[in-house]
Structure 1
Amino acid sequence: MSTESSGGRLPTAPVVAAGLAGGYVVASSTGIRPLGGLVLGAAGLLAGRTWLMRHGPTTAGLLGGVYLLAFGASHPLAKQIGAWPAVAVVSAVSAAAAYFGSDRSAR
């Protein structure tokens, strides 16, 4: 399978932002938190697979860790600044990490 057809050219910054924000939207609008987790997980797996193919396990692990930490940080941050602002902050931080850690060098 070629890198291009298997996601090597996929920009991961919007994927991680959509995973965090989309997971929140799905969970809050349906009231089914595991469904939001499914969205979060699917985006994380897609981005993680792309990072692994592009840069190997170290970068994939680091960026995956940022993604998971962002998700975890969104909960206490939401208590301080509100749910949507927290989701916006962690989505932006994760997207920036994905861009600078992977997407920019893949161009």
Structure 2
Amino acid sequence: MSSCDLKKPQNVNTAAVVSTGLIGGWLTARETGIRPLGGVVLAAAAAWAGRSWWAKTDGPTTALLESIYLAGFGLSHPLAKKIGAWPAVLTVTAASAGAAWALSDRR
């Protein structure tokens, strides 16, 4: 495999990708002060995980997992007002990564 070859989608640990997207996107936005840059990280992880979900499962499962991932992002904002930013991000990340593992990665 050359340095430019992508990992086969069936071999990608999407729970780790989801975690990287949610936590990494939040940290990128927070540390740079550029919220859209955090969105780029979030979107890149969604695309990478979605590619694997499509290969490992089916269309409805892929759509469900993408929805859970994006809902986690959306829900983290009001949740942060109640429990704080870090706990909110970690909570939605755990839920999203858990769903990715249960519906895709453990197969």
TM tier, smaller: over 0.9
What is the TM-score normalised by the length of structure 1?
0.92
Superposed displacement of residue 42, structure 1? 0.2
Task: Note the 1:55-70 alignment, pairs <5 A.
Answer: 55-70=57-72
- The code of the aligned residue for 1:47 comes to A
Contact 2:15 / 2:96 at 8 angstroms: preserved in 1?
A: yes
CA RMSD across the alignment: 1.1
Q: Aligned ranges for residues 20-59 of structure 1 at < 5 Å?
A: 20-59=22-61
Number of residue pairs the alignment of both structures matches = 102
Percent identical among aligned pairs is: 53
- Which amino acid letter does the alignment assign opposite residue 99 of structure 1? W
- Aligned equivalents of 1:22, 1:88: Cα separation in 2: 11
Residue identity opposite 1:10 in structure 2: V
Scaled by the length of structure 2, the TM-score of the pair is 0.92
Deviations 1:32-64 (A, max 9, x none): 000000000000100011001111211100000
AA matched with 2:103: G
Alpha-carbon distance in 2 for matches of 1:32, 1:8:
33
Specify the alignment match of 2:102 in structure 1: 100
Tell me the residue number matched to 1:89: 91
Q: For 1:7 and 1:45, how far apart are their aligned partners in 2?
A: 11
Distance 1:5 1:33, change over 3 A: closer
Tell me what 1:80 maps to.
82
Write out the 4+ residue segments of structure 1 that deviate beyond 4 Å after TM superposition: none
In structure 2, the gaps of 5 or more residues are 1-5
